[in-house]
């Protein structure tokens, strides 16, 4: 096979990039090691910032998002006894959108179907070759067991944190940073109307709790837990009672309902030492990971897609490599901003350390509840104005 860009990974990064390139008349081939069903049903992100919504609109996959998504003007932050609304729209004039990653994935898949874009699912033995030359290639074994080769001008590594692209870069460990947090999130999806109009981020002495949603009938909730805890230790009753306790405020009640999915995820921050090696470019989780407290993973992936997409358009259409060569620096500036914001939100809201740390967190939240400059700073980072 021959194409301009070989895209490894059919998650949000891979397919957003595929659609962006297609819109600009640039050809790409996508390969993915999982099945389409598996990728479509992976429950993850829910919160989209303005620039991600703009990108989806630009590549023609925002119709359902605009119809079924929920536009939110702000979030609630909470300490025991006090819930404070931070209104982004009033503070800085921007809103955010609640729309599940499963839905974005489906919309992207359907857009690829409509365009006749082939995606090779369930491939194995993916290997990258000659990435520091002008003729890189990707080899793999297709679903039917046939050995395949894609010859291309550029490889986009959109294969998430565990994929082969980053690992293929010599010396990538140099300048890579990782922080593994001593807690995880237990996430549940429940068939019950949300008990709140906008997201609640609650700090509680027993641990962080969060209330998000997917629609007016489906709630998404999270609890801070030990990352090594076994989900089997968490009955539905125990989950609801812990959520109700950690999010309690006078006059408010958490509605409960059937839990349809529950799992525990570890939390880490990671920034790759390199996002580029010759003609290989890392996009999204392949190059960087944040804890979900700032809702930045998918949003910064969209940011990478725009920067790489712009670089590739100049490269293929104007024979100008300047923007493409600037990709790593442009992307990393945002990556470090969201890395700091996600770390800050995580550190302020999760229970860790001793009583001194607890008092510092509480003091910071109380200060934020009163101080408009701090609220504006949070709002700008949360909606992604950079």
d(CA 103, CA 99): 7
Task: List the catalytic residue out of 296, 327, 332, 350.
Answer: 296
Is 20 part of the annotated catalytic residue set? no
Structure tokens at 297: 């993973």
Q: Count CB-CB contacts under 10 A for residue 126.
A: 19
Nearest distance in Å: CB 220, ligand PHB: 5
Which burial class, exposed, middle or buried, applies to 154 when counting CB atoms under 10 A from its CB (0-12, 13-18, 19+)?
buried
Is 222 part of the annotated catalytic residue set? no
Q: Which is nearer to ligand PHB, 43 or 248 (CB)?
A: 43
Which residues are bridge partners to 266 per DSSP?
184
Our finding on whether 194 is near ligand PHB (CB under 6 A) is no
CB 23 within 8 A of CB 58: yes
Q: Which is nearer to ligand RFL, 78 or 168 (CB)?
A: 168
Is 382 part of the annotated catalytic residue set? yes
Task: List the catalytic residue out of 211, 288, 292, 350.
Answer: 292
Task: List the catalytic residue out of 12, 20, 72, 181.
Answer: 72
Nearest distance in Å: CB 231, ligand PHB: 17
Which element (helix H / strand E) includes 238? helix 236-246
297 binds, among ligand RFL, ligand PHB, none (CB under 5 to 8 A by kind): ligand RFL
Which residues are bridge partners to 209 per DSSP?
202, 223
Q: What is the dihedral of CA 50, 365, 100, 26, to 10 degrees?
A: 40
For residues 207 to 236, the per-residue mask of contacts with ligand PHB, x marking binding by CB under 6 A and - elsewhere, is -----x-------x----------------
- Compute CA distances 39 → 1, 52, 105, 245, whole Å: 24, 20, 8, 34
User: Which residues are CB-contacts of 275 (< 8 A; sequence separation ≥ 6)?
Assistant: 281, 282, 287, 304, 327, 328, 331, 332, 335
Is 296 part of the annotated catalytic residue set? yes
Is 205 part of the annotated catalytic residue set? no
| Residue selected from 254, 301, 331, 383 as contacting ligand RFL according to rule CB under 6 A | 301
7 binds, among ligand RFL, ligand PHB, none (CB under 5 to 8 A by kind): none
100 DSSP assignment:
-
Our finding on whether 293 is near ligand PHB (CB under 6 A) is yes
Residues from 176 through 205 that contact ligand RFL (CB under 6 A): 185, 187
Our finding on whether 74 is near ligand RFL (CB under 6 A) is no
Among candidates 330, 342, 279, 308, which has minimal Cα distance to 55? 308
Task: Give the count of alpha carbons within 13 A of 165, CB side only.
Answer: 35
Q: Among the candidate windows 123-131, 147-155, 241-249, 291-299, which touches ligand PHB by CB under 6 A? A: 291-299
- List residues near ligand PHB by CB under 6 A: 45-47, 199, 212, 220, 292-293, 295
Q: Which residues does the annotation mark as catalytic?
A: 72, 201, 292, 296, 382
- List residues near ligand RFL by CB under 6 A: 8-14, 31-34, 39, 44-47, 101, 123, 126, 158-160, 163-164, 185, 187, 265, 284-285, 292, 295-299, 301
């Amino acid at each position: 096979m021959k194409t301009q860009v070989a895209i490894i990974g059919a998650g949000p990064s891979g397919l957003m990039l595929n659609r962006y390139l297609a819109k600009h008349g640039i050809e790409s081939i996508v390969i993915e090691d999982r099945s389409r069903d598996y990728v479509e049903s992976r429950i993850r992100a829910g919160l989209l910032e303005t620039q991600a919504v703009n990108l989806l609109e630009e590549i023609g996959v925002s119709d359902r998002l605009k119809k079924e998504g929920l536009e939110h003007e702000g979030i609630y932050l909470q300490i025991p006894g006090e819930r404070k609304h931070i209104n982004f729209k009033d503070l800085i004039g921007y809103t955010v959108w609640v729309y599940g990653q499963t839905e974005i994935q489906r919309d992207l898949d359907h857009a690829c179907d409509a365009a006749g874009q082939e995606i090779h699912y369930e491939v194995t033995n993916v290997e990258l070759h000659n990435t520091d030359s002008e003729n890189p290639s990707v080899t793999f074994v297709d679903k039917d067991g046939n050995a395949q080769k894609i010859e291309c001008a550029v490889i986009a590594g959109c294969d998430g944190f565990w994929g082969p692209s980053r690992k293929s870069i010599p010396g990538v460990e140099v300048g890579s940073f990782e922080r593994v947090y001593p807690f995880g999130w237990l996430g549940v999806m429940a068939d019950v109307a949300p008990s709140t109009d906008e997201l609640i981020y609650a700090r509680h002495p027993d641990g962080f709790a969060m209330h998000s949603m997917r629609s007016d009938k489906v709630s998404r909730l999270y609890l801070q837990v030990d990352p090594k805890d076994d989900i089997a230790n968490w009955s539905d009753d125990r989950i609801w009672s812990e959520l109700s306790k950690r999010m309690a405020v006078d006059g408010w009640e958490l509605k409960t309902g059937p839990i349809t999915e529950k799992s525990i995820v570890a939390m880490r921050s990671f920034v790759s030492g390199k996002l580029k090696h010759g003609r290989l470019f890392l996009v999204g989780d392949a190059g960087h990971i944040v804890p979900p407290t700032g809702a930045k993973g998918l949003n910064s992936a969209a940011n990478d897609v725009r920067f790489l997409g712009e670089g590739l358009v100049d490269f293929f259409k104007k024979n100008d490599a300047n923007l493409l060569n600037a990709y790593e620096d442009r992307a990393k500036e945002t990556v470090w901003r969201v890395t700091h914001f996600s770390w800050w939100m995580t550190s302020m809201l999760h229970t860790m350390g001793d009583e001194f740390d607890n008092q510092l967190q509480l003091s910071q939240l109380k200060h934020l509840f009163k101080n408009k400059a701090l609220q504006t700073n949070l709002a700008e980072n949360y909606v992604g104005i950079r």
